[in-house]
Amino acid sequence: MKFQDYYQALGVPRDADAAAIKKAYRKLALEWHPDRHQGDKKEAAERRFKELSEAYEVLGDAEKRAKYDRFGANWQQGADFQPDPAQGTMSREEFEAAFGGGGGFSDFFQSMFGREFQGNFRGGERGRHGRFRHRGADLHAELALPLSAALRGGKQSFEVPTRASCPTCGGTGELSGHVCPTCAGLGAVRSKKRIELKIPDAVRDRMTLRLAGLGEEGEGGGANGDLLLELRLLDDANFRLIDGELEARVRLWPWVAHAGGAVDVTTARGTVSLKVPAGTRSGQRQRLRGQGFADGKGGFGDLYARFELDLPAVLDDEQKRLLDELAQAGAKGGGKP
């Protein structure tokens, strides 16, 4: 490792006292520790961390610092500085000298990052599979709900794709020094998570729910991510959304449409009896106030009944005879609406 300006590396002035040097190193070591970086940034972090360790090894030792202040680049009589490779980045003794003895090496990282960080270092070296605690990633999913199911409420089961810690290697990516054959060294495998959702009372189209802890698993004991679930309400045979208004399809027999009567309508709040005026035509709407979805404010929206003329699936002989007579009368009158 070539000569570097140790004071510049730690960002301290040349007259900084031992406490200031320790404080600066503590801050930068936490920021640049390799376990806090992933991907392409990890290699750069390892280089920076080694530079910081080298700088503190010199400036944190009164005798070495005195030589460095006196001779600068030649403080080791002109030789390039080479840390002992067996020490990794920093020995336990050096760490405890920096952060305090009596278990300071493990206690410091444990207090900053949690108990799972303890044990990531062994014998002065960072454990081969030591991981900084990372929160799992949030998952994004969409759940399609027919309007009839949304109106019924209750619970809905569904699956979302996710990643889980590899069951073979425990998330390390290796087995006995070899790449894990199950996860190909990634430490995680694709999986599916079954979730049972209670449909919100105030459900609406494109509502996004944050389901805490149902995202991807955390690493190193980190918390799980969340699941961001978007609800899509779909028209079905009985209900549809028109410009945000909930409509119920209400079938009328011709004689009810002509003479008037009552029909049962399923709503978000149960089944209600709706009075149909005489002479109702197909396509007409009637508002049922307070029978739609909950509005989230303690009330309910409206439901619109849209009437559609239809015939029963089974007709008795008398009904067939009367319809035949109606058809003949209509034909004599031209049969046009």
Does some domain include residue 151? yes
CATH of the domain at 308: 2.60.260.20
13/37 same-domain check: yes
pLDDT in 10s for each residue of the chain, 337 residues: 456 788 998 999 999 998 898 888 888 887 887 767 777 788 888 888 888 888 888 888 888 888 888 877 666 654 444 444 444 444 445 444 544 444 444 444 444 444 434 444 333 334 334 445 678 778 888 889 999 888 888 888 888 887 777 888 877 778 877 778 887 777 778 878 888 888 888 888 899 999 888 887 776 677 888 889 899 999 998 899 888 888 999 988 888 888 888 999 888 777 889 999 998 898 899 999 988 888 778 888 889 999 988 887 787 888 888 888 777 776 666 555 5
Domain that holds residue 95: 6-126
Does some domain include residue 120? yes
pLDDT, position 333:
62
Q: Which one of 213, 234, 255 terminates a domain? A: 234
> Phi and psi for 56 in degrees, rounded to 5?
-75, -30
243/177 same-domain check: no
230/255 same-domain check: no
pLDDT in tens, 154-200: 888 888 887 777 888 877 778 877 778 887 777 778 878 888 888 88
pLDDT, position 245:
85
* Predicted TM-score of the model (pTM): 0.50
pLDDT in tens, 222-273: 788 888 989 999 999 889 988 888 899 998 888 888 888 899 988 877 788 9
Does some domain include residue 1? no
Number of structural domains in the chain:
3
pLDDT, position 222:
76
